[in-house]
Amino acid sequence: MEDLELSTPTNLRRILLTLEYDGSGFAGLQTQAQGERTVQQELEAALSQIPGARPKIWPCGRTDAGVHALAMPVHYDTLDNIPTEKIPHALNTLLPPDIRALAAQEVPADFHARKSCHWREYRYRILQRRMPPALDRHRVWWIPHSLNLIPMRHALECLVGTHDFKAFAVKEERATVREIYRAHLEVWPTEGGREIWIEFVGSGFLRGQVRSMVGTLVEIGLGKRDSSSIQSLLASGSRKDAGPTAPAQGLYFVRAGYQPYRQ
């Protein structure tokens, strides 16, 4: 591979992959210092088996342990001449079954999966019913108690816009101002209950922000706090006054956009 890279540097291509993965068996997307299993580790191991591919990926964002992705963009560079439409199939023969490459396209050399991104969308799934799930136990947050969705929707409206989301960050970050373009709640009937989807589209999110917002919204739905507490939290920036961090298994990275967001 080294001889190929030295002799044909002008043949370098940048490939944008779209990944789907079940986060249940991973310690997150990015490589961990402790050597735990991650999505990045598995994907780079697969790329290392393709002659000419440089086994280093740059994802659009990061997901924590247990968080899933429906369409996570990542880019990598390669000297191979595999047609882009065949790259997903080639990778899927090398990847474990809990990661799948869905699509691939060649992008300009200055494209960056994270830096070129304009917006990201996340979805959180809550299963509200008396009995716990068997099939979706690693894919939803099971809540056996009734949730009042009216104040939850009112609280969601308060989160839209540009705010300092320090109260919802799980660790100290220097810059905590983000913009949320859309915050939405949908309900789907299920056997013996209902499934609630809470969706966010934003310019970017702090680590743990979505799960912290969901945990606070659930407390509002349970009547443990008023919907106006969202505005107080945004003003105070106090993490200890916010709700708990929702479990990882209910969170999904849905997609990313590389053009300005339009509803």
Catalytic residue positions, numbered: 64
How crowded is residue 207: how many other Cβ atoms within 10 Å of its Cβ?
15
Q: φ, ψ for residue 100 (rounded to 5)?
A: -135, 135
- Give the 3-state secondary structure of residue 244: coil
- Give the 3-state secondary structure of residue 161: strand
Reported residue count of the chain is 263
CA 254, 186, 125, 154 dihedral sign is positive
- Cα–Cα distance between 121 and 195 in angstroms, integer? 19
| Contact indicator for 213, 234 with CB cutoff of 8 Å | no
DSSP category for residue 52? T
| Contact indicator for 15, 106 with CB cutoff of 8 Å | yes
Give which of 119, 123, 116 is closest to 70, Cα–Cα: 123
- Cα–Cα distance between 31 and 20 in angstroms, integer? 17
- Cα–Cα distance between 11 and 36 in angstroms, integer? 34
Q: Is 122 one of the annotated binding-site residues?
A: yes
Q: Which parts are annotated binding residues for substrate?
A: 122
